[in-house]
């Protein structure tokens, strides 16, 4: 079950990474598929490095690479059509974020880490791929510039760990994990829709994050 959610998150991030490559950086097919794979697998690889679970699952299990490459190719071919829905790139990012927060936290918890550490690793898994993507195309990472990005990921990871801890996941299984991911997803999408931001430093009258003028 976790594997299915993990592959779904990989696919969402691959589409998102490929669309970012097309729109923000105007890359060719190799660059598009490469950025799709890095965005899709980056979070999981960082998680596995921090857990010491090496080589990372990506190299042991070829399905992740296949799903990431397929997602990148699909987004490359249909980038024009997908690009029409201007919010799709953000919604795909929110989907990957939610799914990886839950699977990352669950995997860390299964490998014996404490609940707090599992929540942190889930959050790192969720925001890792997107952060590497933003660094490679020279954007300020979303995790820094967007108020409601790390917080819903931490919430989803915490719900997933709580479900494992209380045994709810033994009874409910998939619904518990999907509920945790769904909560994260809804908060993230609502935050984007209403432009919710976390508070700025006291007395800061400046315009916005450093990246505001760049996405253009």
| Nearest alpha-carbon partner for 16 in 31, 30, 37 | 37
Q: Does residue 55 have a cis bond before it (omega within 30 degrees)? A: yes
Where does residue 99 rank: exposed (0-12), middle (13-18), buried (19+ CB within 10 A)?
A: buried
Among 12, 51, 89, 161, binds a second copy (CB under 8 A): 51
CB of residue 9 to a second copy, shortest distance in Å = 20
Is residue 190 a contact point for a second copy (CB under 8 A)?
Answer: no
Among 14, 32, 97, 102, binds a second copy (CB under 8 A): 32
CB of residue 193 to a second copy, shortest distance in Å = 18
CB of residue 148 to a second copy, shortest distance in Å = 8
Q: Which two three-digit tokens encode residue 169?
A: 């996941």
CB of residue 42 to a second copy, shortest distance in Å = 12
What gap in Å lies between CA 36 and CA 50, rounded to an integer? Answer: 22
Closer residue to a second copy, CB minimum distance, 4 or 197: 197
Segment contacting a second copy (CB under 8 A): 4-12, 31-39, 92-100, 181-189?
Answer: 31-39
- Note the helical H segments in 78-173: 79-84, 88-110, 115-136, 142-145, 150-165, 168-172
What gap in Å lies between CA 17 and CA 128, rounded to an integer? Answer: 12
Interaction with a second copy in 120-139: which residues (CB under 8 A)?
A: 120-121, 131, 135-138
Is residue 151 a contact point for a second copy (CB under 8 A)?
Answer: yes
Segment contacting a second copy (CB under 8 A): 1-9, 94-102, 181-189, 195-203?
Answer: 195-203
Q: What is the 3-state secondary structure (H, E, C) of 20-74?
A: HHHHCCCCCHHHHHHHHHHHHHHHHHHHHHHHCCCCCHHHHCHHHHHHHHHHHHH
* Residues in contact with a second copy by the rule CB under 8 A: 21-22, 24-32, 34-35, 45, 49-52, 54-56, 59, 62, 65, 76-77, 79-80, 113, 116-117, 120-121, 131, 135-138, 140-141, 143-151, 197-204, 206-210
């Amino acid at each position: 079950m976790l594997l299915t959610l993990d592959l779904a998150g990989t696919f969402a991030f691959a589409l998102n990474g490929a669309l970012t490559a097309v729109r923000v950086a105007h890359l060719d097919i190799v660059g598009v598929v490469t950025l799709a794979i890095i965005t899709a697998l980056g979070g999981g690889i960082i998680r596995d490095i921090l857990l010491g679970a090496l080589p990372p699952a990506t190299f042991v299990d070829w399905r992740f690479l296949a799903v990431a490459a397929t997602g990148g190719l699909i987004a490359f071919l249909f980038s024009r059509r997908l690009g029409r829905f201007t919010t799709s790139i953000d919604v795909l990012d929110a989907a990957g974020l939610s799914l990886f927060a839950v699977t990352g936290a669950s995997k860390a918890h299964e490998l014996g880490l404490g609940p707090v550490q599992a929540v942190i690793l889930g959050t790192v898994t969720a925001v890792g791929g997107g952060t590497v993507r933003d660094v490679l195309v020279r954007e300020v990472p979303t995790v820094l510039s967007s108020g409601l990005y790390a917080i819903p990921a931490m919430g989803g990871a915490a719900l997933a760990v709580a479900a494992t801890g209380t045994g709810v996941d033994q009874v409910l299984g998939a619904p518990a994990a999907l509920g945790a991911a769904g909560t994260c997803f809804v908060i993230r999408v609502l935050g984007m829709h209403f432009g919710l931001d976390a508070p700025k430093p006291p007395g800061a009258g400046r315009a916005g994050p450093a990246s505001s003028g760049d996405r253009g």
